[in-house]
Structure 1
Amino acid sequence: MQIRATNPEDKELRREAILDAAEQLWLTHPERLCNVADIATAAGLAKGTVYLYFRSKEELFLGIHERHVGTFFSRMKTRAQQATPMTLDDLFSVNRQFLLDFPAFLPLATLCHGLLERQIPLDIAFAFEQRTYTKLNEVVEVLRNHFPQTTQALMLQSYALFLGLWQLMRPTPLKELMKERSLLCACTDDYLQMLESALTSLWRGALTPEIH
């Protein structure tokens, strides 16, 4: 018999356990959203317990995405708050390590953008965006200690590069066929290298004072 979590600490631990189980199932079967019953089994909980924390599997996977985003912002803030001057290489190092540590981030981020538009209630989607933009603005403020020209727009453009390049470069049967038939350049396999090259151009352009 399961013991119901009653205090905030226990509730948060159970919520995190549900997210952990769902993320592991996603990594095992990235081609589909696992159903709530499978997630409950993986977390060692009853299906009804999962619904106490998330109203749908779509909201649950949005919760994983929000946790990823929070971790990224936290890492960026931690580095930016250090007294040691921050370089673009330091900035990109945070990006690189995050993407290596959380392989589910890119596919799940892409999926969640669709969920926000079609399957997440508007009030839930707005609350998610509100929390995300609050954290984004906090990161912008601390990054300005090192890069005064940092703006919300620059961070959003960087995020667009994260997702856009991944969608163009991620391995698929179609892309393999395109390479075989010389329709797609086979030299573009290194996503991280391409990302850092694009980010370098973006940030150097944004940080270079305009000459009038």
Structure 2
Amino acid sequence: MQIRATNPEDKEQRREAILDAAEQLWLSQPERTSNVAEIASAAGLAKGTVYLYFRSKEELFLGIHERHVGTFFQRMTQRALQDKPMSLDSMFNINRQFLMDTPAFLPLATLCHGLLERQIPLEIAYAFEERTYTHLNQVVTALQRHFPQANQPLMMQSYALMLGLWQLLRPTPLKELMKERSLLSTCNNDYLDMLEAALHALWRGSLTSKD
């Protein structure tokens, strides 16, 4: 018999367990999003229990994405708040390590941007965006200790580069065929190296701008 979580700590642990199960299923089957019953089974919970924490499968996947974003912001803020000078290389190393540690981030981020507009209730989507922008502004404030010209638009452009390059270069059957027939040579390039080169160009241009 399943024991219902009653205190805040137990509830948070159960919520995290649901997110963990859903993320692992996503990584094992990236071509589809598991349904609530499958996620509940993987977490060792009843289907109804999952609905106590997430009202839909879409909100559950948005929860995973928000957890990813929170981890990234936390890592960046912690480093930026240190007195040791922060270089662009050290900042981009944090970004690289996060992407390597979190293989579900890029595909799930792409999925969630579509969900926000189509399948997530407007108030839920707004609350997510509000929390995200609050954390984003905190990161910007921390980074300004090292890069005074850092701002919200620059961070958003960096994020757009991350997703855009990934969508262009991510492995797919079509991309493999294009590479095989020499139609798309850029498929041979490493995504992380290309991303860092693009980020360097973006940040150096912004930080040296006279405007």
What range is the shorter-chain TM-score in? over 0.9
Match of 1:209, SS?
coil
- The answer for the alignment partner of 1:32 in structure 2 is 32
The alignment's C-alpha RMSD in Å is 1.0
Is the counterpart of residue 156 in structure 1 residue 156 in structure 2? yes
Moved more, 184-193 or 116-125: 184-193
Q: In structure 1, what is the Cα distance between the partners aligned to 2:68 and 2:17? A: 15
Is the counterpart of residue 75 in structure 1 residue 75 in structure 2? yes
- The answer for the alignment partner of 1:87 in structure 2 is 87
Amino acid at match of 2:2: Q
Q: In structure 1, what is the Cα distance between the partners aligned to 2:103 and 2:188? A: 19
- The answer for the alignment partner of 2:169 in structure 1 is 169
Change beyond 3 A, Cα 1:200–1:45: same
TM-score (norm 1): 0.98
Deviation at 1:176, TM superposition (A): 1.2
- The answer for the alignment partner of 2:143 in structure 1 is 143
Is the counterpart of residue 203 in structure 1 residue 203 in structure 2? yes
Q: In structure 2, what is the Cα distance between the partners aligned to 1:202 and 1:42? A: 42
Deviation at 1:41, TM superposition (A): 0.5
Q: In structure 2, what is the Cα distance between the partners aligned to 1:46 and 1:129? A: 30
Q: In structure 1, what is the Cα distance between the partners aligned to 2:187 and 2:132? A: 35
Moved more, 178-187 or 15-24: 178-187
Deviation at 1:209, TM superposition (A): 3.5
- The answer for the alignment partner of 1:41 in structure 2 is 41
Amino acid at match of 1:24: Q
Is the counterpart of residue 66 in structure 1 residue 66 in structure 2? yes
Amino acid at match of 2:75: R
Amino acid at match of 1:203: W
Deviation at 1:187, TM superposition (A): 5.9
Would the aligned equivalents of 1:23 and 1:104 in 2 still touch at CA under 8 Å? yes
- 1:103-149 CA-to-partner distances (Å, cap 9, x unmatched) read 00000000000000100000000000000000000000000000000
Deviation at 1:188, TM superposition (A): 4.0
Would the aligned equivalents of 1:26 and 1:32 in 2 still touch at CA under 8 Å? yes
Deviation at 1:186, TM superposition (A): 4.6
Deviation at 1:181, TM superposition (A): 2.1
Match of 2:185, SS?
coil
- 1:4-48 CA-to-partner distances (Å, cap 9, x unmatched) read 111111100000000000000000001011000010011000000
Would the aligned equivalents of 1:188 and 1:194 in 2 still touch at CA under 8 Å? no
Q: In structure 1, what is the Cα distance between the partners aligned to 2:44 and 2:175? A: 39
The alignment-based identity, stated in percent, is 78
Runs of 5+ unmatched residues, structure 2? none
Which contiguous aligned blocks of 4+ residues in structure 1 show a shift greater than 6 angstroms?
A: none
Runs of 5+ unmatched residues, structure 1? none
Would the aligned equivalents of 1:165 and 1:195 in 2 still touch at CA under 8 Å? yes
